[in-house]
Structure 1
Amino acid sequence: MESRVFNVMEVCGTHTHALMQYGLREVYRNKMKLISGPGCPVCVTSQSDVDRLIYLCDQGVRIYTFGDLMKVPGSFGTLREKKALGADVREIYNPLEIIEDMKKDPAEAAVFAAIGFETTAPLVAGLISEIENSSMKNLYIYNLLKRIPPAIETLLSDPDCAIDGLLCPGHVATIIGELPFKRLSEKFKKPFVIAGFTRELLVFALEKMYEMLVTGVSGVFNAYYSTVMRTGNPLAIETLEELFGASDAEWRGLGIIPNSGYALKSEDSVINALQIYPELCKISSKDQCPCGQVLKGKLDPEECKFFGIACNPERPMGPCMVSSEGSCHAAFLYRKEINT
């Protein structure tokens, strides 16, 4: 009798690339189908939010952003194209770089596109503290930070997703620990395994996942215990709780997810871009490609009719092909390596 193949989703872009790079999807294909979920901050940024940033750019506002977001297609171009035409768009690697850049080269108004999950949120919190301490009056935050556990809950609540187990993101877990995943595991009665990123650590996590699935055991197993503590990083959690509260957030493909965002504690904060530019709330856009279905695990990248033809890393149609952590980008990259 042929054994069942279980559906296991990872919600980390680094895991997505590592699983493909090491050929682990193929190795485990007779035991588990490894599915990529919404594990890339750039990929889950909604089309509306991309268009809002491009609108600000067109108004002469300086935009600070992480590199991959510059290449995500909006309804009317990309931030990278706007920069080529003379707009002031600046790529940064650490949010704290922005303060020094603003001091060296002041702008009438500047907005930082703060995308990221729990791992990036403490860095943004640090920037907010620096803005407040420096009394800088013309640097604003467009807050696009998101929380992974509510997105997982949304996916597991969707019967069409049919997820049997979750490979939890090691980086996020270093911040929030095991407990948020434990609550989800108890609610949905499914196995959750926190995984590291080397080939050995991923094999360890996948072997444990398969063991739990076959034996019908739910709960959380920490396969990255050298780095992830049960209660997470207390200092980072305290910092986040001081500056942020939970808020609803829009995810590409998943829509509005309750309490999945990090809202500034003071919604009328002088650094909140939405307070400075309220017209942004009137901009609403629809997805221009099937990335949303890919992010929900309902469409494999190779199954998309645009994959590798109309959509490739040189001419991407959506963020899953743009981002270095995107599942379409990974699928294209490692397929190409195998075929050459």
Structure 2
Amino acid sequence: MRVLVTGAAGFIGSHLAKRLIERGDDVLGYDEVNDYYDPQLKRDRLREVIPRDGFAFVEAKLENRDAMERAFADFKPQRVVNLAAQAGVRYSLQNPRAYVDGNLVGFINVLEACRSGGVEHLVYASSSSVYGANRELPFAVEHSVDHPLSLYAATKKANELMAHTYSHLYSLPTTGLRFFTVYGPWGRPDMSPIIFARKIMAGEPIDVFNHGRHSRDFTYIDDIVEGVVRALDRPPAPSDDVSLLDSPATSTAPYRVYNIGSHRPVELMHFIDLLEAGFGRRSERRLLPMQPGDVADTYADISALVRDTGYQPQTSVETGVANFVDWYRGYYGP
């Protein structure tokens, strides 16, 4: 297939592009390569992670409508995976307009390009952050997501609503994936694994919020990519079954939303223990209050994705952290 991947210079996008190319797909990567975090890491992913054969790249913003339309017209993708977004819960408190531009204006450009280009299936990144103030664990796609705790989360819920509208009006098959905490080689430096790793190696104290009472559904990157590919290969179909309207994750339109995680929440303190063991160093832990926009725990109910695609995460947190530590030492140095 011809698959357009936005956010191809990103953590998940680069690994996904690699997997698609290796199975024989032609991939067009589309990414702004902005400076939200180190652009060199993004360029290194493009150079070192993604095979050259079968890959082309466009450097442009999602909100650049002309560039988006040209990319679709030239490449004529059959399927699209939209992973590009302004990420980060805490940054959304500082620069909310970036989230409107990238996550709302950018996403409508993707939807319009898919509609006019006759795309067979759009898979797009949502987030576990949409569960917000929900305290019922594990988080299930049938739960309410009406109480987001950050603008980032609100834009991701908006993406799900926008996608449903296009599925309903234009019969565009769409699948939203609510990613839980993704980690592994080539990860984002604004996320906890690399933040912790840097401080451990530098001998600096680690800030642990919510006084260390967090747990996260840490999910290894290879498992995430497997789930994305499985979802991409199974476009949802329209249905006459009106009971599908009883859940916010299903519809009579060709529309689905899934959680994609490990279904194995890990206490943050244990995750730090594994990092310290991998690096062979202990760290001081500064226990701090909960940060605005954060949630205490995440725990993915992945039963819907398992049922519909056969998805089964395989990587234990022990193996995943060991792989991450090996990559970190190789990339950043001892």
TM-score w.r.t. the length of structure 2 is 0.34
TM-score w.r.t. the length of structure 1 is 0.34
